[in-house]
Amino acid sequence: MHIVITGASRGIGQALRAHYLGQGHQVTGTSRAGGDGLLPLDVTDPAGHARLAATLGEAPVDLLICNAGIYVDKGQSLDDGYPAPLWADTFATNVTGVFLAVQALLPNLARATAPKIAIISSQMGSDTRAPGGSYIYRASKAAALNLGRNLAADLQPRGMAVGIYHPGWVQTDMGGSAAEITVDQSASGLATRFDALSLDTTGCFETWDGRAHPF
């Protein structure tokens, strides 16, 4: 299987890359800077996606994992925080970056036998779980969830399944050391969910450990 993972230099993306390489799969990982076996890709840059597609050429992509994301508004104040540039930067990465990755690699996905797209969102994007705060990140992950659901509708007739996933509260730079699970636990659980994804379950929003998450 050929797997493409955006944001594979650290955290969940890095763990997913290690997981699939350990299973003997072909993995193309990306990071903003590239290096260390990763291809350079700033997911906010359309030209970068075009270069990635050109590098892959006609190679089929069985699984595209849209993992790259940022969380820059942690701790911001409702009264005087959340400046407009943070909104623009976050949506460019967490939402537009996902769409551009899918769009650029559609021809490669179409060459696979049973292509899948996995979008890493978050329970923080759930409309039914809204405790306040982190407005930018929550809104961007809600948009990523909405994007995934609509992609699922449009790509199902093309034989492409799309799943959206909450990776858990993970011990990463983003999640912090007090988080509930390790990156390896998250990656292993997510990989199991990706394996189970099919055209019958396309558009699902699931947790890393297999529970349906409320939208």
Strand partners, 151: none
Active site residue 135: no
Sign of CA dihedral 194, 199, 205, 209: negative
Which residue among the candidates 20, 71, 82, 137 is catalytic per the annotation?
137
- Whole-number Å distance between alpha carbons of 196 and 25: 17
DSSP state of 134: -
Q: Where are the beta strands (DSSP E) in the chain?
A: 2-5, 26-31, 39-40, 63-66, 116-120, 161-166, 204-207
Q: Which residues are catalytic?
A: 137
